[in-house]
Structure 1
Amino acid sequence: MLTLETVSGMAGVGKTAVAVDTARTLAPRFPAGQVFLDLRGHSPSQEPLSPGTALAMLLRLFGAPADSIPVRLDELIALWRTTIADRRAVIVLDDAAGPDQVAPLLPGNSPCLTIITSRRHLTGLPHAVPLALDVLPTDDAITLFRSFAGAARTQDITETARIVRLCGHLPLAIELVANRFRSRPSWSLTTLGERLARSPGPLGEIRNADQEILRAFSLSYRTLDATQRTTFRCLGLHPGPDFTAESAAALLDLPHKETERLIESLLECHLLREPAPDRYRFHDLLGEYARMLALAEDSAREREQALERLIAWYLRNAEQADRVAYPRRIRLAPNGAQELPALSHMPNTHDARAWFAAEYGNLLAVERHARTHDSRPSAARLAHALAGFLESECHWQDAIDILQYAADHWSRTGDQPAQCHALLCLSSNHANTGRYAQAVEAGERALEIARATGDREAEWEAYRILGVIHWHIGENETAVVMHQRAFAIGIATGNVLNQARSRNNTAISLLALGELERALDHFQNAISGFRSAGDEAGVIRTLNNVGDLYAHRGDYVQARKTFEELLPLTESTGNAYTQAMVRTNLAANLAETGEIDRALALHHRALTEFRILGDRKSQATAYNGLGEAYFKEGSVDASIENHLKALDIARDIRTSQEVTRALRGLGQSELASGRLEAAAEHLEAAIAAANRANARDEEARAQAILAEVRATTGDAMEAKELLRRAISTLRGLNDREANRLHKLLTRIDHGETDF
């Protein structure tokens, strides 16, 4: 049963501290763990987390892959509630903007404890127990002060009580004063108390949260020297969630060592925090105060120049990280005008990708700032530098707006090479998330520009992407043509890796067309090419496809062996999509060999991963796999339910191979349950869809099941004709299935109708 607490109160009253301490105290009762999520309801520099983004972060905290997020809110909510349904955990949702933000995040009928903090009183949340915080009692205020100031110098409880009284018993004021005291070892408690009592500052005159916070900050600010004040104001301009000394140096236009010393001086004053080693951030209200001072005390040109330096720094380093992390990716030529020093801690692929991961939130914030503050070319180039990371780490939803903006920007400026590259990235992103019409449009426009500008590398990429899209939607003959054209470019340019990728992609579509021997030849050549190019991930992907070929032949034992050997290799690569796809393929083969329970578990796990990735086509694949496994288990209703889900998705995104498979599965289940008319209708639709896509083996399988329907209804002549067509198609492709159908034909010839 859901347990929900809302903690509200004035700024600085200690809502977060209470929530975190409660979670820690109750930890033994909630063995599934404790998580904390800042909803940024009142962040001065960032929008509040959307429910979708917040749900994605919660899923990651509970073990979902960190390199992906779902696309649709309803799927996120369902996945979150499924994930948390049986877990006893404490979830702290900090700084909520309002009920609409947090309602989708509640874990439903779960044994979790959810604690929500907000500066507002939250209404409309079912089962919520409200807790309004006030200032601390004297004893607690003293304890809080001593915990920050240190017990050794705070033995005089009477003088300490006087200090906390002068602080109004407000936790933030107490913390600020205690930390200041700790940084002044020559001071006594009497010295601090006297300064607070005679100070013109606000501590004894607090009236509301805003006045108290601003005056407390002003008191700290006035203790800084001129250089520290400039630093404080300028750092407040950073649009991201945190910063490093390197990015701060760019913003301040100072050497790295001097920047580090200034940051350390602000840390001493507790005007900055260091939540992780060498990463710094403001308290949200301190950051707001710093920006307010910058607006009041610095000129518009000074602020603009600081932010221009910061944007240029992130762009230069993102471009370097992109080249180190993804050396084989096609990209724009570097902008020679940007001569800023690059990061020194990026010697290899691992470090470059780690830099992207650490700076991801800042990169998004800087791109957004550049896009909306007259730095549009930099925003477009930053989008291009980010595209490889967004693609490989499956941040597909975050990429949508960024890549679309870049394509639109270069279209407006008339820079065709840049527009071509942006369209290629956009087309691939659309394909990843099932927006195939938009993907084709962007890909064809990129191809047109690549041809016009003579960019052979971009032309190869356009053909590759278009070929993959046509495979997704079942147009495999067109896909083969696209990949063959890409292969010809790979030959002409001598690019062994591109040749291998084209061969692998060609083979995938040939496999869908039932040309197994040609497909195997291409797969084998692709593996050799990938090995020559040193691309182990390409080898793994191709071996997965070879396993799929074995399954098409009906050699489920060899297919299963291939997938089981591959699975640990894919898990070591860290690519969530490849892992999920191998699990799906292994599950399908386990179902064929009778290990239904294990098959169902793998299908469900893969489905969850595909949801997180936002890959709708693969979700349809997983639902169809579940439908087939449930049918083999004898759970006909569950089979129908999953095939219907697959059909809805597949029709929505126009992927004919999963439409055909879903229709065939529905027909088979309806035949088993005696709904012969519905079975025939679905099977006829499956045959038509497979015929349009020239998917010969899928058409044959649907024909064989329809033959059983016709034989059951007494139409032996049509049943035999359907079986003959299916046997003719499958002979040489899947001899085991062809032999089974031949036996069925013999039974019909003998007048049998009970199948």
Structure 2
Amino acid sequence: MPGQTSPFGDRLRALRRAAGLTIEELAERSGVSARAISDMERGRSRTPQVRTLAALADGLGLDDDARAGLTAAAKEARSPSAAGRPRLCEPPRGVTDFVGRQAELEIVRYAAKRAVDGDDLPPVVVVHGQPGLGKTALAVRAANDLRDGFPDGCLYVDLRGVDAAPLPAGDVLLRLLRALGVRPDQVADSDDERCAHLRGILRDRRCLLVLDNAGSEAQVRPLLPAAGRCLVIVTSRRALGGLEGVLRIALPPLAPEESAGLLRSIARQAADPRTAPQVDRVTDLCGHLPLALRIAGTRLASRPQWTVGQMVDRLADEGRRLAALSAGDTGVATAFALSYAQLPAPAAQLFRRLAHIPAADFAAPLAAVLVEAALPDAEGRLEDLVEVGLLQTVGVDRYRFHDLIRLYADERLHAEEPPDTRAETTERMNTWLLETVVVAGRWYEPGYGRLPDGWAGLARLATLEEADAWLRAEVDNWLPALRTAAAEGRHQLVAGVAAATRWYSESTLRWRGWWEVRRLARAAAGALPDLSQQAFHTSLYAWTAVYLMALYEEAAEAAMEAYRLAQSIGDLQEQARALSSAGAAWLNLRRFDDALWAHRTGCELADRAGDHDLYVDHLVGVGYALEYLGRYDEAIGEFQRALAELDRRPVAARPALANRATAMYGVASSFDHAGRHEESLRAVERALPVLMENRYDDVVAFALVLRGKARAALGRPAEARADLTRALEMLAESLPSRLEDEARAILPTLDGTATAEAGADLTRTLETLADSLSRRIETEARATRAVLDGTDPA
């Protein structure tokens, strides 16, 4: 069928022929496709955009008059009387306060370059992510930035993928074909023919297609060009993993500085530098979600009497936050609701029940517990939530809510599930968490170190390493569960968790949560009629007060309370355990004789009770008491005796490793105190591998200090500096200690730039001590002075 001519098409054809150019030659000169020029000349497409018109005029080499005439013809063709129809598939208005997303825009620019070069299939960029991230804003911004490179048109279609009835592919094909100049009577009836027609047109044109809000791969696939120099940008809440050969951009929330910039660009109040802390708080409460930030900014801008602080107050209340983040027909909750409505019933149930989880992230087994489902079924439901943008993946096997989506899940939970169901779900979750803690913790118990026979729990706990990984990963879930159990009076369960994690806690000493665990357990045991449990948990509380909190007076009092409880029931083993904590507390209180009594008495009690683990533990304690009393040879003898008993007695693996490490360290420390540096160096180098195997990070750091001191005294300053520097790095988050202070004092003496100053200080010290009775200090000063002078310390 012959094409319908138009005044613009006639003028373009006449100018081309007057220039002696074929359509192909004009296409080459102008950069406008031959197909597009042909359609314009025959009146089969809409008149060109300004950029395309300028490219044609440049390609024709028109002077000003001819260029004006062509422009006038184009304007006439664009008038309603001439066009006869509106322009179709025009992109929406972009936002004027667009911020950030430079990395994402760079990816789209890269794809556009590939499209223009035409070396491959037309590139497709899929921008995906949770609701409210600004996917459409990014796509429209990119289209506006890049449309000059696509002179045959920039076309936009909202696919309405989250609506109850998404736009059918056939309707989208019809809109695109008509926007590309195909008359209605030339559009085929079948989707397959329309798809082929669209691909045929796009093969010869340079167009940019924005397919916004896609619901599925099936909705997008028929719209993608198979050849040519086009670029397609797709936005979706789903990753559209079924589309092959596409560039995917997983859109994250804005960076904090970008969030603040967006808020300041919208609301005048936020632009005041004095409001910076409140602005940062608003952006945090909005979760750095562009939709939420835009709504908050709009509400501020429309209420000039409000302050940013007042907006903070409104958003700080979790119960009102989602309501506060709505304006007119736009709201954060409304955006989330569209995705929630798409979920099948099992996934929707899981979504709202995930609000029970107290921590920011979780793994699939906990989700399975919430909905009483098999693990594969729970994993499938979680992936459904990820697919529609209601959940984020973290690492390999964990998931996380955006803060605002969590609030929406909690809103749906309270609206759709009755109180008794919510209470049952919470209790089931907490019980599973705490029972799993008990199983995981028992990997570390002497004489246990394995899974219970027949255990088939959901969590992966087949090895000690897996148990450790689970306890660390889920700590922000199981500790709140323990608090709840304590508040509900589930005393035996609370006490059981503390007992099962006793040995595990020794490998994670820096975690301050143990203090709360032990306090809760001591209180729970006090409510039980079992004096044995009261003694055990009071002693464990004392141990934690010593080794974690450095509350030595309180630790000593609690330890002696536990000792008396154990005496009242004739429990020799518990008496010995309580005296272990008492001895450690008294050592730190410099009550060395009391500590020596506690450990020697504990040795006797443990031996009578047949507790080989505690017996060796107290032997090590005796060694430390003697060391602090200045009886170094006796101390070394006790440490070596402890090492011999470890080889002789059937001590369980974990306490054997722990006591071997501390005894070997004690030997090195005693040699250090005695000023026997070569022996200290040999001893600490034997101890370090055992300490590292035992995962005693703080004690490893102390051993490095000992090695650094020995190396400094033996004239090896470079090695000493490396040891001391590494030790201080390791101790940065630990409680202050004497050895840390010593390391800080020695380091400047090893620094070449401070040598003279340090030497002068030591010289003055020697003069002051000339007639002093403190001969040991004088000897140490002379040794260090010799190191600085480069002479033999001897």
User: 2:386 aligned with 1:270, yes or no?
Assistant: no
Question: Within 2, Cα distance between the matches of 1:327 and 1:184?
Answer: 60
User: 2:506 aligned with 1:394, yes or no?
Assistant: no
Instruction: Judge conservation of contact 2:445–2:500 (CA < 8 Å) in 1.
Output: no
User: 2:460 aligned with 1:425, yes or no?
Assistant: no
Post-superposition Cα deviations, 1:85-110, rounded to whole Å, max 9, x if no partner, equal: xxxxxxxxxxxxxxxxxxxxxxxxxx
User: 2:415 aligned with 1:296, yes or no?
Assistant: yes
Instruction: Judge conservation of contact 1:507–1:518 (CA < 8 Å) in 2.
Output: yes
2:558 maps to which residue? Answer: 442
SS of aligned partner of 1:159 = strand
2:589 maps to which residue? Answer: 473
> Within 5 Å, which residues of 2 pair with 1:624-635?
624-627=742-745
SS of aligned partner of 2:358 = coil
Post-superposition Cα deviations, 1:681-740, rounded to whole Å, max 9, x if no partner, equal: xx89xxxxxxxxxxxxxx87369899x9xxxxxxxxxxxxxxxxxxxxxxxxxxx9xxxx
Distance 1:156 1:320, change over 3 A: farther
Question: Within 1, Cα distance between the matches of 2:544 and 2:764?
Answer: 40
Question: Within 1, Cα distance between the matches of 2:775 and 2:448?
Answer: 40
1:623 maps to which residue? Answer: 741
User: 2:216 aligned with 1:181, yes or no?
Assistant: yes
User: 2:375 aligned with 1:260, yes or no?
Assistant: no
User: 2:702 aligned with 1:701, yes or no?
Assistant: no
2:765 maps to which residue? Answer: 672
Q: Report the AA paired with residue 351 of structure 2.
A: F
Question: Within 2, Cα distance between the matches of 1:628 and 1:414?
Answer: 54
User: 2:477 aligned with 1:358, yes or no?
Assistant: no
SS of aligned partner of 2:331 = helix
Relative contact order (C-alpha < 8 Å, sep 6+): which is higher? Answer: 1
Question: Within 1, Cα distance between the matches of 2:349 and 2:533?
Answer: 38
Question: Within 1, Cα distance between the matches of 2:474 and 2:423?
Answer: 22
Question: Within 2, Cα distance between the matches of 1:180 and 1:548?
Answer: 68
- Could you list the runs of 5+ residues in structure 2 that have no partner in the other structure? 1-96, 109-131, 146-151, 164-209, 225-231, 238-290, 297-324, 784-794
Instruction: Judge conservation of contact 1:483–1:502 (CA < 8 Å) in 2.
Output: yes
User: 2:518 aligned with 1:403, yes or no?
Assistant: yes
1:607 maps to which residue? Answer: 728
Shift of 1:484: 1.3
The counterpart of 2:155, out of the listed 134, 158, 171, is: 158
> Within 5 Å, which residues of 2 pair with 1:23-102?
none
Q: Report the AA paired with residue 682 of structure 2.
A: K
SS of aligned partner of 1:320 = helix
2:137 maps to which residue? Answer: 136
Question: Within 2, Cα distance between the matches of 1:430 and 1:374?
Answer: 24
Distance 1:244 1:625, change over 3 A: closer
Question: Within 2, Cα distance between the matches of 1:639 and 1:414?
Answer: 63
SS of aligned partner of 2:733 = helix
User: 2:669 aligned with 1:548, yes or no?
Assistant: yes
Q: What TM-score does the superposition give when structure 1 sets the normalisation length?
A: 0.58
SS of aligned partner of 1:307 = helix
> Within 5 Å, which residues of 2 pair with 1:256-655?
256-327=375-446, 342-343=457-458, 345-371=460-486, 378-379=493-494, 381-412=496-527, 416-432=531-547, 433-532=549-648, 533=651, 534=653, 535-613=656-734, 615-616=735-736, 618=737, 620-627=738-745
Question: Within 2, Cα distance between the matches of 1:326 and 1:19?
Answer: 53
Shift of 1:670: 9.2
Distance 1:542 1:265, change over 3 A: same
Instruction: Judge conservation of contact 2:159–2:212 (CA < 8 Å) in 1.
Output: no
Question: Within 2, Cα distance between the matches of 1:321 and 1:134?
Answer: 43
Post-superposition Cα deviations, 1:511-565, rounded to whole Å, max 9, x if no partner, equal: 2223344323322221123345343343233222222233344432122122234
SS of aligned partner of 2:393 = strand
2:357 maps to which residue? Answer: 238
SS of aligned partner of 1:280 = strand
Question: Within 2, Cα distance between the matches of 1:186 and 1:24?
Answer: 21
Shift of 1:294: 0.8
Question: Within 1, Cα distance between the matches of 2:98 and 2:598?
Answer: 61
Question: Within 1, Cα distance between the matches of 2:757 and 2:584?
Answer: 32
SS of aligned partner of 1:417 = helix
Distance 1:237 1:348, change over 3 A: same
Question: Within 2, Cα distance between the matches of 1:142 and 1:289?
Answer: 32
Distance 1:537 1:284, change over 3 A: same
Distance 1:531 1:156, change over 3 A: farther
Shift of 1:372: 5.4
> Within 5 Å, which residues of 2 pair with 1:104-115?
none
SS of aligned partner of 2:731 = helix
Shift of 1:221: 1.4
1:124 maps to which residue? Answer: none
SS of aligned partner of 1:243 = strand
2:86 maps to which residue? Answer: none
Distance 1:455 1:301, change over 3 A: farther
Shift of 1:391: 3.5
Question: Within 1, Cα distance between the matches of 2:140 and 2:598?
Answer: 76
Distance 1:388 1:539, change over 3 A: closer
Distance 1:184 1:496, change over 3 A: farther
Question: Within 1, Cα distance between the matches of 2:338 and 2:137?
Answer: 22
Q: Report the AA paired with residue 334 of structure 2.
A: R
Question: Within 2, Cα distance between the matches of 1:381 and 1:392?
Answer: 19
Distance 1:510 1:294, change over 3 A: same
Distance 1:583 1:183, change over 3 A: farther
Q: What TM-score does the superposition give when structure 2 sets the normalisation length?
A: 0.55
Instruction: Judge conservation of contact 2:161–2:215 (CA < 8 Å) in 1.
Output: no
Shift of 1:291: 1.0
1:106 maps to which residue? Answer: none
Question: Within 1, Cα distance between the matches of 2:696 and 2:106?
Answer: 33
Q: Report the AA paired with residue 137 of structure 2.
A: L
Distance 1:599 1:705, change over 3 A: closer
Instruction: Judge conservation of contact 1:636–1:669 (CA < 8 Å) in 2.
Output: no
SS of aligned partner of 2:620 = helix
Shift of 1:386: 4.3
Post-superposition Cα deviations, 1:110-150, rounded to whole Å, max 9, x if no partner, equal: xxxxxxxxx9xxxxxxxxxxxxx998365446699xxxxxx
1:169 maps to which residue? Answer: none
Instruction: Judge conservation of contact 1:430–1:438 (CA < 8 Å) in 2.
Output: yes
Shift of 1:506: 0.9
Instruction: Judge conservation of contact 2:440–2:468 (CA < 8 Å) in 1.
Output: yes
Question: Within 2, Cα distance between the matches of 1:156 and 1:181?
Answer: 25
Q: Report the AA paired with residue 545 of structure 1.
A: G
SS of aligned partner of 1:270 = coil
Distance 1:564 1:354, change over 3 A: same
Q: Report the AA paired with residue 605 of structure 1.
A: R
Instruction: Judge conservation of contact 1:322–1:389 (CA < 8 Å) in 2.
Output: yes
Instruction: Judge conservation of contact 2:356–2:426 (CA < 8 Å) in 1.
Output: yes
Q: Report the AA paired with residue 397 of structure 1.
A: R
